[in-house]
């Protein structure tokens, strides 16, 4: 049975350490908070006063409760004051030699049954444990920033950590109101191992000028529902902290995806450390400010749409869910829309689906009846591609097959009027292949809508090496008119979103395959620890394991990066017919298809 820990200590009162002190004191524990000198103690106390004061001002904490929190905390500059602690949590800067020095000292001061915990996010807990005479009493207790808000704690056991120590720490996490996942000692644990590979990849994308910082961040927020874009998150974490974590992970794993992008080291050297200094990937109003201010790298408003070709009429080819969503979105934007389906019954099915969707919008109060009727009046269907000859813009939304798309663009190249823009909604195929097949490559652009098109706000505008600038500008202008946020990128596998998303999903599968953690714990770590709307395995089952495998193979084929090679477990599940929700079985079992 787990013992109830009541007398605890925290060493290090930076942002994270002070947050941990607040969490412990809020839960009623007696806390001794230790820093190196009086100035550092004052800064740590300032962090606590700011955090609790903000909670009071927002009505989330009573003034009396705030006073009670401070009554439970004793501030000190001496480790000797931890002599009676039942648990000490170390939260000093992420340097092994510094942490080892603290653990060596605590081992001499604290009683033999005191648990020594490290809040490290990337260093080896095992390596820290062996500097003490009690390695079986050492454990990782990785809180997430800001500790009073974030609910996840990664409990990291080594091969010699006693089960009773694990039980005690898990019980404490529950008392603190945290969700704990217990894992082994591996570089990055769960959340950072998955998060920082993704962040590093995003930095490389920016460093190589594939897309702007604003477009990379907007793509991941709007395309994946993430709370922050990767570059803004790097600024929040701290560029120096991110470098140390990536460097540590790379040294332990030798995974090239964790080798810090050169620009990270350059920014660190230049002192561009993120929000805490007011400059990182973005420029902020001041130190520790979240307000981004314009700088020379911020693009001019409306610049992407300058020189756009006029568009009044739009054609859509396709009759599936994506095509129907695009038809609705474009018609709501005020365009006259003619869509092409293979047969009269498909035309009728699209019109019925469109009517149902608009009727739902009326019931939900998002559209009035007059608006619904106006949208329907702007839409008509046909079975002949030749009827698209007068369209200003034609959007292809057919099955994700290169031969099918090539044949379609070959026909559209001859049918569409001179100057008409031809767009493909492909999410993974080379846009240049469609452009080549059309015989008019300068008129072809990618417009990757996200499903469901009626709800998702993002469009990736993909320019090939041949796309005319006014054609890309036209795609941006149309996207803006239909209420979408367009981001620019060039034609390579995955564009922005899939190129960042699917290696992360693949890393999660590899983590499961290695039996490091369960699918439930990995999903919980990313949802609770990083604020993701879905865990990686939930998302894989929704997307479809076969679709995910196809995209990962495309990324691996194009980039030849060993870390992008699809996890064998994913390939085996697809071969066995475990495709996710659509078949009722994937990484989890479902009640039905």
Tell me which of 192, 319, 479, 548 is the catalytic residue.
192
Write the CA distances from 436 to 275, 291, 369, 465, 466, integer angstroms: 45, 45, 44, 11, 9
- In this structure, the number of other CB atoms found within 10 A of the CB of residue 291 comes to 10
Neighbouring C-beta atoms of residue 355, cutoff 10 Å: 14
pLDDT for position 305: 55
Pair type for strands 444-449 and 458-463? antiparallel
- The DSSP bridge partners found for residue 485 are 458
Does residue 142 have an active-site annotation?
yes
Give the model's pLDDT for residue 16. Answer: 92
Q: State the Cα–Cα distance between residues 135 and 137, nearest whole angstrom.
A: 5
118-127, 286-295, 432-441: which has the highest mean pLDDT? Answer: 432-441
482 within 8 A of 331, measured Cβ to Cβ: no
Catalytic residue chosen out of the listed positions 90, 154, 244, 396: 154
What's the CA gap between 57 and 192, in Å, rounded?
32
Residue pair 302/293 in contact (Cβ under 8 Å)? The answer is: no
8 A C-beta contact, residue 152 and residue 525:
yes
Residue 297's pLDDT is what?
60
pLDDT attached to residue 301: 44
Rounded Cα distance, 569 and 427, in Å = 24
Query: How far apart, in whole angstroms, are the C-alpha atoms of residue 190 and residue 183?
Result: 8
Active site residue 401: no
User: CB of 483 within 8 A of CB of 448?
Assistant: no
Q: Read off the pLDDT band of 302 (50, 70, 90).
A: very low
> Above 70 in pLDDT, residue 500?
yes
Report the distance separating Cα 512 and Cα 535, nearest Å.
13
The two structure tokens encoding residue 59: 């009505």
On the question of pLDDT at 475 being above 60, the answer is yes
| Torsion angle in degrees (nearest 10) through CA of 88, 93, 96, 100 | -30
Helix then strand then coil, in percent of the chain rounded to 5, is: 50, 15, 35
Q: Where are the beta strands (DSSP E) in 397-518?
A: 421-424, 444-449, 458-463, 485-490
Considering only CA atoms, which of 339, 341, 316, 331 is closest in space to residue 361? Answer: 331
Q: How far apart are CA 195 and CA 567, in angstroms?
A: 18
Tokens coding 310: 């006029």
| Model pLDDT, residue 303 | 43
pLDDT, one tens digit per residue, over 555-592 is 999 999 999 999 999 999 999 999 999 999 999 999 88
Residue range 239-284, pLDDT digits in tens: 998 998 999 889 888 888 889 999 999 999 999 999 989 999 999 9
Indicate the helix (H) or strand (E) that contains 283.
strand 283-284
CB 405 within 8 A of CB 415: no
For residues 332 and 376, give the distance between their C-alpha atoms in angstroms, rounded to a whole number.
9
What is the model's pLDDT at position 160? 96
Choosing from 51, 90, 94, 121, the catalytic residue is 121
Average pLDDT (345-350) is 96
> Could you tell me the two tokens for 49?
């006063």
Comparing C-alpha atoms, which of 465, 342, 332 is closest to residue 404? 342
Distance CA 180, CA 152 (A): 6
**Average model confidence (pLDDT) across the chain:** 94
Question: Which burial class, exposed, middle or buried, applies to 261 when counting CB atoms under 10 A from its CB (0-12, 13-18, 19+)?
Answer: buried
What is the CA 96 to chain-centroid distance, rounded?
28
Distance CA 474, CA 320 (A): 25
- For residue 299, pLDDT over 60 is answered with no
Radius of gyration of the chain (CA): 27
Q: Tell me the C-alpha to C-alpha distance, in Å, between residue 252 and each of 182, 187, 194, 459.
A: 20, 6, 15, 38
Residue 154 has pLDDT above 90, yes or no: yes
- What residue ranges define each of the domains in the chain, with the CATH number in brackets? 7-184 (3.40.50.720), 191-293 (1.10.1040.10), 303-490 (3.40.50.720), 497-575 (1.10.1040.10)
| Residues in a beta bridge with 9 | 32, 88
Q: What are phi and psi of 543, to 5 degrees?
A: -65, -40
- Look at residue 211 and give its three-state secondary structure: coil
State residue 476's pLDDT score.
97
For residue 122, what pLDDT band results from cuts at 50, 70 and 90? confident
pLDDT of residue 188: 86
Q: What percent of the chain has pLDDT over 70?
A: 98
Beta carbons of 185 and 157 less than 8 angstroms apart: yes
Helices 497-513 + 191-207 axis angle, to 10: 150
pLDDT, average across residues 531-535:
93
Listed in order, strand segments (DSSP E) in 426-478 are: 444-449, 458-463
Tell me how far apart the alpha carbons of residues 369 and 293 are, in angstroms, rounded to a whole number: 42
Bond preceding residue 401 cis, omega within 30 of 0: no
- In the set 47, 90, 142, 476, the catalytic residue is 142
Q: What angle do CA 581, 585, 588 make, to 5 degrees?
A: 90
Tens digit of each residue's pLDDT (9 = 90 or more) over 350-388: 999 999 999 999 999 999 999 999 999 999 999 999 999
Nearest to 500 by CA among 580, 565, 564: 564
Query: Residue 544: is its pLDDT beyond 50?
Result: yes
């Amino acid at each position: 049975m787990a013992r109830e820990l009541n007398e605890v200590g925290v060493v290090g009162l930076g942002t994270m350490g002070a947050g941990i002190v607040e969490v412990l004191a809020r839960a009623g524990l007696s806390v001794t908070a230790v820093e190196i000198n009086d100035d550092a103690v004052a800064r740590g106390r300032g962090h606590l006063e700011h955090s609790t004061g903000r909670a009071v001002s927002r009505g989330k904490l009573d003034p009396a409760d705030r006073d009670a929190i401070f009554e439970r905390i004793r501030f000190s500059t001496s480790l000797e004051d931890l002599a009676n602690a039942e648990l000490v949590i170390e939260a000093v800067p992420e340097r092994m030699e510094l942490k080892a020095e603290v653990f060596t000292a605590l081992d001499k001061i604290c009683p033999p049954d005191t648990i020594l915990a490290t809040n490290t996010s990337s260093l080896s807990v095992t390596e820290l444990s062996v500097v003490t005479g009690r390695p079986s009493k050492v454990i990782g207790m990785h809180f997430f920033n800001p500790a009073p808000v974030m609910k996840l704690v990664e409990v990291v056991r080594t091969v010699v950590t006693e089960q009773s120590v694990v039980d005690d720490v898990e019980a404490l996490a529950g008392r603190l109101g945290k969700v704990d996942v217990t894992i082994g000692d591996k570089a990055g644990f769960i959340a950072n191992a998955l998060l920082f590979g993704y962040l590093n990849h995003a930095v490389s994308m920016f460093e190589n000028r594939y897309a702007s910082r604003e477009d990379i961040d907007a793509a991941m927020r709007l395309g994946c529902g993430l709370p922050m874009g990767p570059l803004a998150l790097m600024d929040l974490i701290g560029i120096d902290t991110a470098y140390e974590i990536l460097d540590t992970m790379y040294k332990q794993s030798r995974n090239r995806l964790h080798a810090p992008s050169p620009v990270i080291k350059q920014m660190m050297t230049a002192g561009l450390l993120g929000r805490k200094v007011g400059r990182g990937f973005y420029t902020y109003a001041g130190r520790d400010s979240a307000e981004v201010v314009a700088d020379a790298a911020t693009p001019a408003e409306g610049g992407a749409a300058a020189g756009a070709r006029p568009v009044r009429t739009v054609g859509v080819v396709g009759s599936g869910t994506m095509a129907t969503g695009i038809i609705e979105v474009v018609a709501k934007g005020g365009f006259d829309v003619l869509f092409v389906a293979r047969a009269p019954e498909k035309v009728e099915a699209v019109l019925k689906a469109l009517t149902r969707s608009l009727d739902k919008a009326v019931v939900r109060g998002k559209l009035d009846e007059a608006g619904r009727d106006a949208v329907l009046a702007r839409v008509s269907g046909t079975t002949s591609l030749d009827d698209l000859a007068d369209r200003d813009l034609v959007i292809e939304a057919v099955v994700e097959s290169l031969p099918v798309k090539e044949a379609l663009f070959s026909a559209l190249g001859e049918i569409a009027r001179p100057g008409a823009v031809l767009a493909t909604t492909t999410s993974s195929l080379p846009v240049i292949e469609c452009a080549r097949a059309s015989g008019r490559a300068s008129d072809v652009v990618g417009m990757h809508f996200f499903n469901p098109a009626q709800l998702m706000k993002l469009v990736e505008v993909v320019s090939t090496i041949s796309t005319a600038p006014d054609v890309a500008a036209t795609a941006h202008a149309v996207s803006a008119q239909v209420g979408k946020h367009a981001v620019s990128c060039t034609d390579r596998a995955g564009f922005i979103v899939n190129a960042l998303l699917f290696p992360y999903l693949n890393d999660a599968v590899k983590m499961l395959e290695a039996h490091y953690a369960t699918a439930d714990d990995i999903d919980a770590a990313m949802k609770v620890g990083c604020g993701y709307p879905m865990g990686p395995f939930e998302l894989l089952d929704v997307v479809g394991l076969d679709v995910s495998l196809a995209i990962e193979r495309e990324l691996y084929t194009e980039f030849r990066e060993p870390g992008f090679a699809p996890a064998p477990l994913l390939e085996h599940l697809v071969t066995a017919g475990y495709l996710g929700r659509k078949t009722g079985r994937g990484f989890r079992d479902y009640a039905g298809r």
